[in-house]
Structure 1
Amino acid sequence: MNLTEPPLIKMYDLVLKPEKQAEYLVYGKRNLELSIQTEPQTLAMHALQKENDAFHKVVFEIYTDLAAQKRHQNAPQFKKYASFAKDALVEKNETELIPELLLEKVDFLSGKAHAPLLVRLARLKIKDRHMAAFKVAVFSEMRQAIALETGVLALYATSLKNEPDVWLFLEFYQNEVAYQAHLKTPHFEEYLAKTKNALEKKELQTLREETLVSQGNIDYERKR
């Protein structure tokens, strides 16, 4: 799915009441799965949790545009989820992200049963004078990883709408073995060498999969 127009991406940080956990998983899964089946312009939705905090959720949503998101918000399954969430959430923070490079394998989340994937979230602050070189290096590395590594399933590079020097990467690997193998590839080592002076700050965390859905094979590159 080659996208020529920039999709809309939202990230939500949610804090859930512990006693609402079981219901949240049911409502959330139903909302995501029905949405990806019935809304062709809802491109991907990923519900995750912080590795060491089962009640701190992270949700990524990708739509073709704002109109697609509004259609989703009027869907019956979302309205049921939203009604539940009013009482279930202690905190909700929304961040709009600018898509920089979005890549998925053709068979990413094809609907077949799979073991939980390894999901990594990276937050990088880029020094302004290195931004152009950083972008070239990371785009090259990402495309090689998707093309050459069977265990690298999807990579999303985004920047914060109001902080363009801060980039968020959401990365999906088949498992820990695939992730560790990725770190040792020539293209990743080349990326590290080329960007070692570009980063002002770097934060990494592992997220646990709850519900992952996608239309599949997303390919979008931001042109500047």
Structure 2
Amino acid sequence: MTNLEYPPLFKLYEIDIKPEKQAQYFALGKRNLNLSIKTEPQTLAMHATHSDKKGLKNLIFELYQNKAAQERHRNSPQFKKYALFAKNAITKRKVTELIPELLLEKYDFLSKSSSENMAVKYARISLKRESAAAFKAAVFSEMQQAIALEEGVCAMYAATIQNQPDEWLFLEFYQDKAAYDKHRATPHFKEYLEKTKGLVETKDLTDLVADTLVSQGNLNYERGN
């Protein structure tokens, strides 16, 4: 198990690309991620996904052990090749700095299902003022039970947006859609909904399509108070 004593660096990149550049962008991105996870031990996880039918609206989630690890990645040959091409392929780029709250992965996270079958869920939640402590307790309990008790739950990440402690982001990986549906029927998920229904201001859930998912595996990190 990769237990982390210090909070890793967590970033979300939202990238729109030109249709005519899509195939080469995808190929270079896949090469970059696969080489990086093999050659950079402190690059913890990198997940490239898209949210639209054409695959032009990309969301890339990156976890590094620290800032130095990210700098090593950015200086790697595979990233430089990707970045050089991406410069002319990208029409829009937004970077969101995240604070990891809870990161949980199964030891065989990416061997349980092919990325084609995996259900990837992305949620953004805005909390009511002064609800963060109660929400954190409820959602941490639910996530920990899901990973421990449900075979089809592969990984769950929870984070807040930097300098916005009431804005939460969740990235969840399920073996397939049936595993996700089963998860929503569990007692611990229903308990979480009941405990947090008065704490949430807005909630937005998006289905993502997995393009390239890589991880060192078995991450375990919980942010203290």
TM-score calculated relative to the size of structure 1: 0.97
Aligned pair count reads 224
Tell me if the contact between 2:113 and 2:176 (Cα under 8 Å) persists in the aligned partners. Answer: no
Aligned alpha-carbon RMSD (Å): 1.3
Matched residues in 1 for 2:113 and 2:156: separation? 20
- Aligned ranges 1:79-94 → 2 under 5 Å: 79-94=80-95
Matched residues in 1 for 2:216 and 2:121: separation? 21
- Aligned ranges 1:135-214 → 2 under 5 Å: 135-214=136-215
Equivalent residue for 1:120? 121
Equivalent residue for 2:67? 66
- Aligned ranges 1:51-62 → 2 under 5 Å: 51-62=52-63
AA in 2 matched with 1:211? T
Give the C-alpha shift of residue 116 in structure 1: 3.1
Overall identity of the aligned pairs, in %: 58
Deviations 1:50-93 (A, max 9, x none): 04341000000000000000000000000000000000000111
Matched residues in 2 for 1:59 and 1:108: separation? 18
Give the C-alpha shift of residue 27 in structure 1: 0.1
Tell me if the contact between 2:41 and 2:216 (Cα under 8 Å) persists in the aligned partners. Answer: yes
Task: Report SS of the residue matched to 2:5.
Answer: coil
Q: Are residues 33 and 202 of structure 1, via their aligned partners in 2, closer, same or farther at CA, if it must alter by over 3 Å?
A: same
Deviations 1:93-147 (A, max 9, x none): 1011000000000101149856431100000001132211110000000000000
Structure 2 portions without partners, runs of 5+: none
Which stretch shows the higher mean deviation, 27-36 or 53-62?
A: 53-62
Deviations 1:124-179 (A, max 9, x none): 00113221111000000000000000110000000000311100000000111000
Give the C-alpha shift of residue 25 in structure 1: 1.1
Structure 1 portions without partners, runs of 5+: none
Equivalent residue for 2:6? 5
Give the C-alpha shift of residue 222 in structure 1: 0.2
Task: Report SS of the residue matched to 1:205.
Answer: strand
AA in 1 matched with 2:91? V
